[in-house]
């Protein structure tokens, strides 16, 4: 299986193991965070995600540009160590009787800021570990699989532990898994040496480097705003409307209720993610733009099916049907993300990769910020179930726009192949 071939290289295997553990801890933390936020604030829990999105956006724009000259390995280690400490803050607040929306929000915002620094450093490091094009795509798929695996394992762990641990106690898992990730990255001293410093220019030039890198890649601008729309609607559907739907409807499945049902649905999402990732990781990506749009269409259709199941299915079947639709939704993620990562790493020069990835973060998290800020107002007029259905429909429409344009995506694929050969 192609996706497993990078694991034959010990440095890649160590990095993947550390990142996988960290991603599982992040998922457990995330599920506990959104459930506690919904209990404390209802639909206004979306402000937690909005604040996170605004933080990642600001970090990618400003601190991320500044951090590009740092040693990537040390940057990732520092982020992991800081994440380990911050994850304990809500637990301490709960133990001292101070747990409220603010004591959830503040550490979550700080954790989000670290993501805006860690992920560009990781993206820029992958080509150093997998220098050949043959190895690059399966390595990207393998790294992408860390989040997919976490969406399977994390919710399952959260759902299992929720029966006998306080929800806030689940957040402590991130401390241990972040430390494991830091240890794994520390071991890559020889494989990830300090990169040569490049001239950064003025602060304005640093901030706009990503925009300047894509100025001759017109199709990439469409892919960026598409990512903002899709990610915004995705996060509103799964991380706000789903918990509200479970809470409002009193949904149960296989003896689970409340947070346990949310865990089952997200676990099903993880199954679909992982299955899709295993397939995509074995493909030679020859038409990346087409794959990205088809993946988005599948994701949108799956969300629409989740909304339909919540609206129309009998109550005793609603949760199992939502789980099935969630697994289908997840198939689109790797079909979109793996070719997008390969595009960035092959079309752009090595010194541009981190800047272009930061630009992707700006659009993706900018979309999340806008969507989650508007969501509480929308939910006053539209039910959470209908919101999920409508979000799925809009995502399908956005993918159709790209597929239906005259000459696209065929012309884009030809441009991408030419740019890759000169990258």
Task: Please spell the DSSP secondary structure of 340-400, one letter per residue.
Answer: HHHHHHHHS-GGGHHHHHHHHHHHHHHHHHHHHHHHHHHTTTS-HHHHHHHHHHHHHHHHH
Residue 108 pLDDT greater than 70, yes or no: yes
- Start-to-end CA distance of the chain, whole Å, equals 28
Within 130-258, where are the H helices? 133-161, 173-186, 203-207, 209-213, 218-236, 242-249
pTM: 0.71
Half-sphere exposure of 369 (CA within 13 A, CB side): 16
pLDDT of residue 423: 46
pLDDT of residue 163: 72
Tens-place pLDDT, residues 400-415? 988 776 555 665 565 5
Tens-place pLDDT, residues 179-237? 999 999 999 888 776 655 554 555 556 557 777 777 777 678 888 889 999 999 999 99
Computed over every residue of the chain, the mean pLDDT equals: 82
What is the spatial distance between Cα 222 and Cα 331, in angstroms, rounded to a whole number?
A: 22
Q: What is the CA radius of gyration of the chain?
A: 20
What is the spatial distance between Cα 105 and Cα 237, in angstroms, rounded to a whole number?
A: 20
State residue 309 phi and psi, 5-degree precision.
Answer: -60, -40
Tens-place pLDDT, residues 347-384? 777 777 777 888 888 889 889 989 988 898 888 899 99
What is the spatial distance between Cα 364 and Cα 230, in angstroms, rounded to a whole number?
A: 8
Name the DSSP letter for residue 200.
Answer: -
Residue 422 pLDDT greater than 50, yes or no: no
Burial class (CB in 10 A: 0-12, 13-18, 19+), 88: middle
Higher pLDDT, 387 or 347: 387
Q: Which domains does the chain have, with CATH numbers?
A: 2-192+204-421 (1.20.1250.20)
Bridge partners for 253 per DSSP: 256
Three-state secondary structure string covering 18-66: HHHHHHHHHHHHHHHHHHHHHHHHHHHHHHHHHHHHHHHHHHHHHHHHH
- Token pair in block for residue 216: 């001759």
What is the spatial distance between Cα 394 and Cα 229, in angstroms, rounded to a whole number?
A: 9
Residue 257, SS3 per DSSP: strand
3-state helix, strand, coil in the chain (%, to 5): 80, 0, 15
Tens-place pLDDT, residues 267-319? 899 889 888 888 887 777 677 888 899 999 999 999 999 999 999 999 889 99
């Amino acid at each position: 299986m192609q996706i497993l071939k990078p694991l034959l290289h010990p440095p890649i295997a160590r990095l993947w193991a550390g990142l996988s553990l960290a991603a599982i801890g992040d998922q457990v933390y995330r599920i506990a965070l959104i459930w506690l936020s919904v209990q404390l604030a209802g639909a206004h829990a979306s402000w937690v995600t909005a604040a996170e999105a605004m933080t990642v956006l600001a970090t990618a724009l400003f601190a991320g540009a500044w951090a590009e000259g740092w040693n990537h390995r040390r940057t990732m280690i520092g982020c992991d160590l800081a994440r380990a400490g911050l994850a304990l803050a809500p637990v301490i607040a709960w133990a001292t009787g101070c747990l409220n929306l603010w004591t959830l929000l503040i550490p979550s915002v700080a954790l989000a800021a670290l993501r805006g620094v860690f992920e560009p450093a990781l993206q820029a490091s992958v080509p150093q570990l997998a220098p050949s094009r043959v190895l690059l795509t399966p390595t990207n798929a393998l790294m992408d699989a860390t989040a997919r695996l976490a969406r399977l394992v994390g919710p399952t762990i959260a759902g299992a532990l929720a029966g006998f641990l306080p929800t806030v106690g689940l957040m402590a898992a991130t401390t241990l898994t972040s430390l494991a990730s830091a240890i794994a990255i520390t071991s890559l001293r020889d494989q990830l040496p300090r990169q040569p410093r490049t001239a950064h220019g003025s602060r304005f030039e640093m901030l706009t480097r990503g925009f300047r890198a894509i100025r001759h890649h017109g199709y990439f601008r469409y892919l960026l705003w598409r990512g903002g729309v899709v990610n915004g609607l995705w996060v509103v559907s799964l991380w706000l409307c789903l918990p509200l739907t479970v809470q409002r409807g009193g949904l149960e499945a296989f003896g689970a209720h409340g947070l346990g049902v949310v865990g089952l649905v997200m676990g099903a999402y993880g199954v679909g993610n992982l299955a899709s990732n295993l397939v995509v990781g074995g493909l030679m990506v020859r038409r990346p733009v087409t794959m990205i749009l088809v993946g988005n269409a599948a994701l949108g259709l799956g969300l629409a099916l989740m909304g339909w199941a919540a609206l129309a299915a009998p109550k005793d079947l609603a949760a199992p049907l939502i789980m099935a639709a969630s697994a289908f939704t997840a198939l689109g993620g790797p079909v979109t993300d793996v070719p997008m990562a390969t595009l960035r790493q092959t079309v752009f020069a090595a010194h541009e990769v981190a800047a272009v990835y930061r630009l992707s973060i700006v659009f993706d998290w900018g979309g999340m910020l806008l969507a989650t800020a508007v969501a509480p107002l929308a939910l006053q007029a539209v039910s959470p179930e209908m919101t999920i259905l409508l979000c799925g429909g809009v995502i399908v429409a956005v993918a159709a726009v790209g597929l239906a344009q005259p000459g696209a995506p065929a012309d884009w694929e030809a441009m991408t192949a030419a740019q890759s050969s000169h990258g």
